[in-house]
Amino acid sequence: MKQYDFEDTHIIKLNRELAMETENLQVFYGKNHAMHDASLQFARHRITALIGASGSGKSTYLRCLNRMNDRVANVEGAIMYRDTDINNKGVNVYEVRKHISMVFQRPNPFAKSIRDNITFALKKNGIKDKQVLNQRVEESLRAAALWDEVKDDLDKSALALSGGQAQRLCIARCVAMKPDVLLLDEPASALDPISTAKIEETLQKLREDYSIIIVTHNMQQASRIADYTAFFHMGHVLEFDKTSTLFTTPQVKATEDYISGNFG
Ligand SMILES: Nc1ncnc2c1ncn2[C@@H]1O[C@H](COP(=O)(O)OP(=O)(O)OP(=O)(O)O)[C@@H](O)[C@H]1O
């Protein structure tokens, strides 16, 4: 693999309302220093894509943002959300995840009905009123662009859905809890192009109400949907800019090589 200067970086600061930001985030898996000094800002109600080669640390970074790495890694530095450093060990992780919610690469619906997939967490959080629950089911399925396809099958098993529908159900399940930030780890990589297009459309609509951070291997996807893009390389964030700028006039050699396919 080509060697790049990790000091050669271009990270813009955002002059707008932030959803969250990290300051000097470091991640260690035992002795493996997997993320170095990552300082990034995420704009509110915008989509930010995290791109980079396999093993560059995108998922490691994303998982820190709602404390999913707690049991597997040592995470240092600040993760600021609404004036609170949520990397502080005293912070209630379950509360954090109500605000900052994660959708995984493989759709993972519960072996329950479509309706129960959505209402499960709501009920656990004390919402019992049937009318409120029904309303939340419809709202979140609509937000995830799934309502029209499943409205007559709400009591059927979620396991009968196609991969693309199941992934949109997982998005609806997150949205039902009304989080602030949605983290998505390659949500379309296991899906066919039509389902991928639906997910992209869904994310673009969701941007009106949510701040979205998405890991993707697919540079076309990043350029289609993301307002901002961060380029990761070997555990370093080397470039962060508006997506259109990063893809047309990258400032860092490693980014330029990566997006032009001249990498590795
Ligand atoms: N749970 C873990 N335990 C130990 N090491 C890990 C763990 N998860 C990731 N790593 C290591 O951290 C580094 C970054 O991996 P990570 O999965 O974050 O990269 P990535 O850019 O998301 O890759 P991919 O695109 O293949 O998912 C790699 O060296 C990987 O081996």
Number of compact structural domains in the chain? 1
Among protein residues, the one whose CA lies closest to atom 14 of ligand 1: 57
| Domain assignment present for 162 | no
Interaxial angle between packed helices 130-143 and 193-206, expressed in degrees from 0 to 180 and rounded to the nearest 10: 120
- Angle at Cα 60 formed by Cα 33 and Cα 36, nearest 5°? 35
Q: What DSSP state is assigned to residue 12?
A: P
| Domain assignment present for 135 | no
| Domain assignment present for 198 | yes
Q: What is the ipTM of this complex?
A: 0.97
Q: How many helices (H) and strands (E) does the chain have?
A: 10, 11
Structural domain range at position 223: 10-106+182-258
pLDDT in tens, 156-175: 999 999 999 999 999 999 99
Return left, alpha or beta for 23; rule: phi > 0 is left, psi -120 to 50 is alpha, else beta: beta
- CB neighbour list of residue 233: distance below 8 Å, 6 or more residues apart: 4, 6, 52, 53, 56, 254, 258
CATH of the domain at 59: 3.40.50.300
| Domain assignment present for 163 | no
For ligand 1, residues with CB inside 6 Å are 29, 32, 34, 52, 54-60, 72, 217
| Domain assignment present for 148 | no
Question: What average pLDDT does range 55-63 have in this prediction?
Answer: 97
Q: Model pTM? A: 0.95
Q: Given a cut of 80, is residue 264 above it in pLDDT?
A: no
pLDDT in tens, 136-150: 999 999 999 899 999
pLDDT in tens, 87-138: 999 999 999 999 999 999 889 999 999 999 999 999 999 999 999 999 999 9
**Ligand 1 centroid to 57 CA: how many Å?**
6
H/E element, 10:
strand 10-11
| Closest by CA position to 44, among listed 4, 100, 109, 90 | 100
Q: How far is CA 185 from CA 60, 155, 172, 216, in A?
A: 10, 28, 16, 7
| Domain assignment present for 111 | no
| Domain assignment present for 177 | no
The proportion of the chain whose per-residue pLDDT surpasses 90, expressed as a percent, equals 91
**Ligand 1 centroid to 54 CA: how many Å?**
8
| Mean pLDDT, rounded, of the chain | 95
| Domain assignment present for 30 | yes
| Phi, psi at 115, each rounded to 5° | -60, -45
Residue 131: what pLDDT? 96
